[in-house]
Amino acid sequence: MTDHDDRYWLEQAIDLSRSCPPSQTAFAVGAIILDDAGQIISTGYSRETDPKDHAEEVALSKLSPDDSRLPTATIYTTLEPCSKRASRPRTCTQLILAAGIPRVVLAWREPSLFVDCEGVELLTSAGLEVIEYPDLAPAVRELNAHLFT
């Protein structure tokens, strides 16, 4: 993927996050998984099917764990994948690692509003390629501005 492609898909994930039902206790996040040919294989957004759903979790749940496209896929997520979670047994970081996705592209590192997130550190230490576009973070923060008032 080129820088242009990564930006495009991350902007699409930001648009997807606008579909999130409102919450005062969780971020609005969008996630898109692409195969190595640049085709969408799954999407998800926070609270899409359950009030405790995270975007990456939803996108991954729509795929078989042994989907042959996952080992060469890229996941685009508007917010750093969670590394601590009270509502479910596995974090989004753990789910991404278990899926074998080698590449993660994100816009905004999770602020320590609810937890101290270490998703980027855990993913990079596991050998994944993690690309950040902090210049797109203001759009994600704006969608979550209600959490900071």
User: Order of strands, edge to edge, in the sheet holding 129-132?
Assistant: 40-45, 30-34, 74-79, 103-108, 129-132
Task: Say which of 56, 57, 110, 118 is annotated catalytic.
Answer: 56
What count of other Cβ atoms lies within 10 Å of the Cβ of residue 125? 9
Structural tokens at position 6: 């990564």
Instruction: Give dist(CA 36, CA 130) in Å, integer.
Output: 16
Instruction: Give dist(CA 143, CA 17) in Å, integer.
Output: 8
Say whether 132 is catalytic: no
Among all residues, which ones are annotated catalytic?
Answer: 56
